[in-house]
Structure 1
Amino acid sequence: MTSTPLVGIVGGTGPAGTGLALRFAAGGVTVLLGSRDPARAATTANDLNTMHSLLTPITGVSNEAACNADIVVLATSADAIVETAAALREQLAGRITVCMANLLKRSKRSFEAVLPPEGSVARAVQAAAPEANVVAAYQNLPAAALADLDRELRADVLICGDDAEAVSSVLALTSTIAGLDPIDAGALANAAGVEALTAILLNVNRTLHGEFSVRLVDLHGRAPSR
């Protein structure tokens, strides 16, 4: 996929979906913002277009229509994402489908990762929509930081998937967001580690009184070849 892809965001009216939509549109990517309620999606898209100077406008559509894209991002919450993927399995067949969800719980001491029986939320999505090309990405990015276009992003994005071409497409898409450096982190099985890392980051945020994401450093001090 060499040209700028059309991106659909399922469940796109929540914080994660709107944040990603803004960043993609600011980078010149055409976005279909999906919702179970198309009217709500249209209103949200209009608000985003009015409030921000974007290179391309965001269009509000139904979740089903959002699947008519080159790359589909599932931005629904972790507790609903598998059900959503199953409901849209026909529309997602053959599509690059990005899972950005983390399943977490909070104990008295800290946030903890919860991994479903399939091994990760991304693998559970793949099981629910077996003909989709599922790629895991964006789990470690704070929604508030994505939504604030005045904030400079500085983070690596670990991307996992079994289909090399699908991963390559998501790497290229991620490169359209200023300040994000995408990294191929291997097979979809590795998404378990990336999802669990979000719980660690939330705990670090609390310990160090900041907002942290992922940035990999070469121990020999060499500049990474990205």
Structure 2
Amino acid sequence: MIGFIGGTGPEGKGLALRFAMAGERVAIGSRDAQRAQDAAHEVGELQVGLSVTGGLNEQVADESDIVVIAVPYSGHRPTLESLGNRLDGKLVVDVVAPLRFSRGVASAVEVEEGSAAQQAQILLPNSKVVGAFHNLSAEDLMRPNVAIVSDVIVCADDKEAKTRVMELAESIEAVRAVDGGGLQNSRYVEELTALLININRIYKAHSTIKIVGI
């Protein structure tokens, strides 16, 4: 099962929908069980036959094989610290992009460890952390009839974990996974999110990224 920690936000719900559409069992987690159940119901209503449940973050972490971290960056460290060894031995996908906004303009937040994904690996030394899915439109993810024509750059130090997440990315219609190298490269992918948000604001669009020449 794929569990989403902080999965009630737009990105978490959107990815939960897409993985459920690909046939995965999905659980949406929150600090508030009712909020998680409401989000699961919302996602499940978008297409018939999806396997989506909701529960507390701790329950979702315990029951999932793959755990997706989808909290705002302000809650990133405390959330991971609170889950502690519940994530030992699990594949953890960090989709968090550390951003700040001023008058509607996005900018990247400097992370002492280098990136949110690197911070996660330090806080979760017994987990296999992968950085991915940073540059997709949450709005488009929540529209099941829209193909996500985009590349997903996947960064990880563990080859097996990276391969699994690349396969997961390509289970989403029209997505291509791109090997982004080690976890140290995740900072560049996370920071790119700020640029995309600002471009989309200028053009009133839902642009994503494509790597050409490979």
TM-score normalised by length of structure 1: 0.88
For the residues of structure 1 that align with 2:85 and 2:100, how far apart are their CA atoms? 31
Listed as ranges, the matches of 1:1-226 within 5 Å are 6-49=1-44, 51-67=45-61, 68-107=63-102, 110-218=105-213, 224=214
RMSD between superposed Cα atoms in Å: 1.6
For the residues of structure 2 that align with 1:8 and 1:209, how far apart are their CA atoms? 32
List structure 1 runs of 4+ shifted beyond 3 angstroms. Answer: 106-110
1:208 shift after superposition: 3.3
1:108 shift after superposition: 6.1
Alpha-carbon contact 1:22-1:54 (below 8 Å) kept: no
1:111 shift after superposition: 2.5
Structure 1 unaligned blocks of 5 or more: 1-5, 219-223
Secondary structure of residue in 2 paired with 1:88: helix
Secondary structure of residue in 1 paired with 2:210: coil
1:46 shift after superposition: 2.3
Larger deviation, residues 32-41 vs 70-79: 32-41
Secondary structure of residue in 2 paired with 1:32: strand
Kindly name which structure, 1 or 2, has the bigger radius of gyration based on alpha carbons: 1
Alpha-carbon contact 2:140-2:206 (below 8 Å) kept: no
Amino acid at match of 2:75: A
1:62 shift after superposition: 1.5
Q: Percent identity?
A: 37
For the residues of structure 2 that align with 1:44 and 1:208, how far apart are their CA atoms? 30
For the residues of structure 2 that align with 1:54 and 1:77, how far apart are their CA atoms? 29
Structure 2 unaligned blocks of 5 or more: none
1:203 shift after superposition: 2.0
1:125 shift after superposition: 1.4
